Amino acid sequence: MEKEIFGLIGRKLGHSDSAIIHDTFGLKDYRLFEIEPDEIESFLNTPGLKGLNVTIPYKMDVIPFMDELTDEAKAVGSVNTIVFRNGRKIGHNTDVFGLMYMAKRAGIDFSNKKAVVFGNGGASRAVVYAAKKMGAREIVVISRTGKNNYENLYLHEDADILINATPVGMYPNPEGAIVDPARFQKAVGCMDLVYNPRLTDFLRLSKQAGKIAVNGLGMLVAQAKEAEEWFLDREISDSEIERVLTHVARARTSIALVGMPGAGKSAIGKRLGELSGLPVYDADTEVEKEAGMTIPEIMEKEGVPAFREREAAVIKSLSLLRGAVIVTGGGAVLREDNRLNLKRNARVYQIARDVALLPKEGRPLSVDLTQMEKERAPYYALSRDVMIQNNTTIEEAAEKIWRDFCENTRD
């Protein structure tokens, strides 16, 4: 019997979570296929194909090769799911269901609201269609060259909801926001279809402005559920979306530890690795590996500013990891770029310990730990999601972190 093939087609899929999502739903042999534009037609005729998801940049490109489009796919003008049945290719759009689930889950109500959508590709089309279905009063699409563009977008500062349907802020280039959400004072909800990193600059700025901010992982999981229903011709309960979303969010979120020198970060990080099964990375160790010198040697030969530059480069690299324990040096939080980078994919824990318990061995007498803690306290506060006291045992502190992480990492 010919093996049935399920998977995802796109051009660059190194960041995709589709395989782990479908595996968690129960579709174990789901594969990723990176293809070039001129390979689409031939690939769609591969023997054994049963079901495919389609991602950028091919959601519109596959349409000419479909034998049939569902009403929703026709209306959207975009296909993200293909079912192969009885020798026919049927194009669906499950992004609409995913977007509607994402909005409902976040508590963002489109009824009689004005929505501004950034981007005019296949994902944007699904957003517009979903917004109409949810009762939006007005929908404005911002594109590079259209009537509504990035030169005049602030004419729509009265928008209630902002949706980023572009790749701006997506791995591996996470810096930058499509727009400053604070300029849209009336907006209450900001949705970013990007899910890697989990906290884009657009969402971070949205949160700072007091708005509901939600990434695209919920949409991705919800649309995958509907796609799998089409693939396997069976109904899947919506409750499965939450189970899969929780599993994927935990698997793809890191734990970052910040805190004073000697607070126990390295020991706690090691224990967290054992509890979670996640790989552990120590920023100081990574700096030494790359430099081929110890940190004291770097400081002596190159100076403290050079060490901080090396440290920032390492933290930027580690912040792109998803599903790791990241241990930072005591002074890493002094730089804003380090604080922002750590939050992209991690839940950040400050390890706090009474100054009297901090080890003083190996430190110059001129280092006043009480004064250092006072000076750094505001930066630790800016960095952390949670503070964990480490005045008893490493085991207790690590277990507190792991328990909090499991209870609060759902996206």
Across 352-370, b (16+ Cβ under 10 Å) vs e yields bbebeebeeeeeeeeeebe
Which residue among 3, 12, 50, 59 is the active-site one? 59
Q: Which residues pair with 192 in a beta bridge?
A: 164
Contact 290, 379 (CB under 8 A): no
Token digits of residue 41: 């037609």
In the β-sheet with 114-118, what is the strand arrangement from edge to edge?
138-142, 114-118, 161-164, 189-192, 212-214
Q: Which residues pair with 255 in a beta bridge?
A: 325, 347
Report the alpha-carbon distance of residue 318 to residue 325 in Å, rounded. 10
The alpha carbons of the chain give a radius of gyration, in whole angstroms, of 24
Report the alpha-carbon distance of residue 317 to residue 342 in Å, rounded. 10
DSSP output for 237-279: -THHHHHHHHHHHHHT-EEEEEESTTSSHHHHHHHHHHHH---
Interacting residues of 303 by C-beta distance below 8 A, sequence separation 6+: none
Report the alpha-carbon distance of residue 212 to residue 203 in Å, rounded. 9
Closest by CA to 349, choosing from 240, 276, 246, is 276
- Say how many C-beta atoms besides its own lie within 10 A of residue 157's C-beta: 12
Q: Mark whether 59 is an active-site residue.
A: yes
Q: What are phi and psi of 271, to 5 degrees?
A: -65, -35
3-class SS shares of the chain: helix, strand, coil, % to 5: 45, 20, 35
Q: What are phi and psi of 297, to 5 degrees?
A: -70, -40
Token digits of residue 345: 């994919």
Which residues does the annotation mark as catalytic? 59
